[in-house]
Amino acid sequence: MLIIFKSPAGGDVIMFEKNGKDMLEVLGKDPADAKGIVTVEQLPAAIDTLKAAIAADKARQAEQGEPDDADAKPGSGNVSFFQRAVPLLELLERSLKDRKPVTWGV
């Protein structure tokens, strides 16, 4: 199953359900909700929270000596949290700039 994040400010961000639910948890949203919204008023906090989670994931990888996205071998199948989160972060930032909410659904 897929979770699709949408906004009139940018293209859809499509994630597998598990990854989408991980993002929703980070954003403080209930991952059990099949549909939801990040309002324009909630976007600044959501962006800050997601940036902090991305930074924490990069720091964790550096401590463990895991390769970052620049060092990852093509086709290895290993995609880190921060690599999955960046498209969503970009959508949130575009949505804030255009003052549009971000919705999600399955």
Distances in whole angstroms, Cα of residue 90 to Cα of each of 13, 40, 71, 82:
10, 15, 22, 12
Q: Considering the entire predicted model, what is its pTM?
A: 0.85
Amino acid at 45: A
For the chain, the structural domain boundaries read 2-71+78-105
Alpha helices in 29-80, H assignment, sequence order: 43-64
pLDDT by residue for the chain (106 residues), tens digit each? 999 999 999 999 999 999 999 999 999 999 999 899 999 999 999 999 999 999 999 998 888 875 555 555 545 567 889 999 999 999 999 999 999 999 998 7
What CATH number matches the domain at 2-71+78-105, 2.60.40, 3.40.1800, 3.40.1760, 3.40.50? Answer: 3.40.1760
- Across-strand partners of 22? none
> How many CA atoms, within 13 angstroms, populate the side-chain half-sphere of residue 80?
22
